[in-house]
Amino acid sequence: MAEDNKENPFKVFESLGKEILSGLLDNVEKEYLNLSGTEKEKFYGAKPADKLRVLEACVRKKRDEAGRILVETLFSKEKESTSAEVPPEMWAGPDESAEFTDTLELCPPEEFLRLCKEKAGEIYPIKERKNRTRLALIICNIEFNNLPPRSRAEVDIEGMKRLLEGLDYSVEVKKQLTATEMRSVLQEFAARPEHRSSDSTFLVFMSHGFLEGICGTTHSEEQPDMLSLDTIFQIFNNNNCQSLKDKPKIIIVQACRGANSGEPLVRGSPSVSEDSPSESSDNLEADAVHIAHVEKDFIAFWASAPYNLSWRDEREGSPFITRLISYFHKYSSRCHLVEVFRKVQRSFEKPPVKIQVPTIKRHTLIRCFYLFPGN
């Protein structure tokens, strides 16, 4: 069989069926090949079974070009057939329940240009890659004087840093800060001149927390050390941070906002899978935060609802950050930011073990923010 195919390279195409192949070859001739009058007479006068051999003889002198055209046409026909069988909306992207990925999907340049043109007044403008200076800040507290350590938080730091760098942000990471130090770091970051030639920024916080704010490293019940979320919004609002005026300011918080577990207390709730992978209750720890402010061009996305815990796996890091990174990888090339956040929320709808609901609240983005990775 291998020898026959080698001697006759068109054998595999003949197996497709003479009638289908004849129509395919007609399309190749009409749309792509410039045959002479005599060649056309021979081609269209041939029987369907003989058209392939006539076409081969006509284009033998330009074999490479003919082969390329034929292959491209075959794949084009395959796509047309597939799209006829499956509704177009099914091609919006991979299944949201698909396995997590650590590869950032890039937005094709033509799609970037199309969306920028079609939605010019509906999306935040993106500065040219060669001229922009995007900055992002990650603040993470791991060890505390009076609170348990946040084991494996380094996994979340590295994952978020890689993601943001892939989105063309220069990432600054700060660790082990008191509330006063966090405030100073935020003020210094807001004053960075690079923001003037940027089109957006990300602020990522990982710590223990409560409804009132994010814990500093010296927090205790007797002597609170907590960064109010009011402070974050005040530092970066349009009055205090002119260089980020009218630009998206994205706040992501991995921390608790209370002590409730968030587990269901109603009948008919989704059953818990017994064989879920890493997010078992034995490995999950609680972090503790609340954001509720209405400054323009802000959006805050945090790991849990008010008064509830958020969880972190002692071995794998937090489910919230892990899923957030994966969904950015899969969907930021075609979805705007709020769509990505909502996909993350839906991924927690049927939690494997511990229940938390990531929360978007009172965001003030007045346009859609597309990240257009790769552009």
CA quadruple 73, 74, 75, 76: dihedral, nearest 10: 50
Q: How would you write 268-336 as a 3-class SS string?
A: CCCCCCCCCCCCCCCCEEEECCCCCCCCCCEEEEECCCCCECEEEECCCECHHHHHHHHHHHHHCCCCC
Cβ neighbour number for residue 303 with a 10 Å cutoff: 31
213-215 sheet: strands from edge to edge:
209-210, 213-215, 226-228
Query: Which tokens belong to 81?
Result: 């057939």
Nearest residue to 193 (alpha-carbon basis) of 242, 252, 258:
242
Active site residues: 208, 256
Contacts of 170 (CB under 8 A, 6+ apart): 133, 134, 135, 136, 194
Q: Which two tokens stand for residue 162?
A: 């890689």
CA distance 278 to 341: 22
- With both helix axes pointing from N to C terminus, report the angle between 319-331 and 153-166 in degrees, rounded to the nearest 10: 20
- Rounded CA gap, 117 and 281, in Å? 48
Secondary structure (3-state) at 338: helix
Q: What are the residues facing 46 on neighbouring strands? A: none
For residue 225, give the amino acid letter: D
Strand partners, 226: 215
